[in-house]
Amino acid sequence: MHAFTFYNPTRIEFGENKEANIGDYMSEFRVKKALIVYGSNRIKDDGLFDIVVQSLHDNDIDFVECGGIKSNPVLSKVREGINIAKSAKVDCVLSVGGGSCLDSAKAIAAGALADEDVWEFFVGKKVVDALPIFDIMTLAATGSEMNSGGVVTNDETLQKYSIGGKPLFPKVSIINPKLQTTVSREYLVYSASDVIAHSIEAYLTAKDRPNIVNRLVENNIKTVMETTEILLDNPDDLVARGDFAWAATLALNGLTHAGVQGLSFPNHMIEHAMSAVCDVPHGAGLSVVMPAWMMWYQKNNLPQFERFAHKIFGKKNATDGIIALKAWFDKIGTPTTLAQLNIDDETLDAVIDNALDNAKAWQMDDIYDRQALEEIFSLAKL
């Protein structure tokens, strides 16, 4: 194993009805006034918001709201949240939603304690302080509930960039599989694609990988594939829903990168350009990019691609493993071609321009130049 630091102080509260204790958990951190960040009004219609508010009330925690966070969350909304947080003088942020909500909440938590504009943290400034962050996850995909990162799109410049830093680890994250049974069929398969992407990025790019870490990753991929199929048949299967959610968390909490060097996130780098320019769902973009990128990249790390083919699909040949993954994406119904995302050639030019900026920002432009991106996107048309 290569040298590493592993640190992850987030407390996970997993299980049914845990959201009813959110105020108790938060009061352990002596907070008094929260900004509740959420997406649509669905959480108000289905009773979740009332449960949260009751628990806050029982613990003498006041709150203000910032609703309307959308998938592929945007900077303008984050700034709105920061303004509310500052003017209401909240002392913590509570996200009730999926990864987009939580990523927005993280940016708000950092921005609320900063004098400078929050975008500074996305373009290089270090996050050294943030309001305490809590969350109730209504969708499992991003792993944001147990890491210190977040992704937001600057809706003026169309840059989909990341924020990160120790203060952005949530204090307490609640995962109640039952709250996730209402996730749509579409977002279930997009989420599966996202978790698989989180799993394969380091798995397929890094060399000299410890066997123990390879197996951790394969466990996450297998769990997601098995449970997605169960959940497509029966969305209310709480065992599968729980296993899926925990695999999503474990895929990006640092464990699958510990002891691994030379990893990179090319699929995310490329997909961020697609969702920044075209606002496609992140997981849908990823399931288009992944098989294409894998075909293009496999020669650079062939033994690991062969391992993937063998361990996940029982195939001997690297290419057969990629074909099998694409077939599985097709089977569950997440897109695998640019056409399915309605990205035409003209739009694709804008996507490639955007991806080239990402490649530079992520310091991957030595590999991912225009020609490389054109080759990868050509494969994504098949």
Binding-site ranges for its own copies (CB under 8 A): 1-16, 18, 177, 210-212, 215-216, 219-220, 222-223, 226, 239, 242-243, 246-247, 250, 255, 258-259
Q: Which is nearer to its own copies, 87 or 211 (CB)?
A: 211
Q: Provide CB contacts within 8 A for 39, sequence distance 6+.
A: 67, 68, 69, 70, 97, 98, 100, 101
The residue assigned the tokens 């997601």 is 224
CA angle 131, 133, 138 (to 5 degrees): 150
Minimum CB–partner distance for residue 17 and its own copies (Å)? 9
CA–CA distance, 136 with 22 (Å, rounded to integer): 8
Q: Which is nearer to its own copies, 239 or 302 (CB)?
A: 239
Minimum CB–partner distance for residue 258 and its own copies (Å)? 7
Minimum CB–partner distance for residue 296 and its own copies (Å)? 30
Q: Which is nearer to its own copies, 36 or 250 (CB)?
A: 250
Minimum CB–partner distance for residue 250 and its own copies (Å)? 8
Q: Which is nearer to its own copies, 145 or 306 (CB)?
A: 145
Q: Among 252, 176, 185, 188, which Cα is nearest to 224's? A: 188
Minimum CB–partner distance for residue 55 and its own copies (Å)? 17
In angstroms, the Cα distances linking 172 to 75, 144, 146, 153, 202 are 24, 12, 9, 25, 27
Q: Which is nearer to its own copies, 100 or 220 (CB)?
A: 220
CA–CA distance, 248 with 144 (Å, rounded to integer): 9
Minimum CB–partner distance for residue 36 and its own copies (Å)? 23
Q: Which is nearer to its own copies, 240 or 380 (CB)?
A: 240
CA–CA distance, 85 with 108 (Å, rounded to integer): 8
Q: Which is nearer to its own copies, 137 or 343 (CB)?
A: 137
Q: Which two tokens stand for residue 128?
A: 């050294």
Q: Which is nearer to its own copies, 172 or 341 (CB)?
A: 172
Minimum CB–partner distance for residue 20 and its own copies (Å)? 13
Q: Which two tokens stand for residue 46?
A: 């289905």
Minimum CB–partner distance for residue 94 and its own copies (Å)? 18
Q: Provide CB contacts within 8 A for 3, sequence distance 6+.
A: none
Q: Among 229, 204, 239, 232, which Cα is nearest to 218's? A: 204
CA angle 301, 270, 319 (to 5 degrees): 35
Q: Among 31, 42, 94, which Cα is nearest to 65's? A: 94
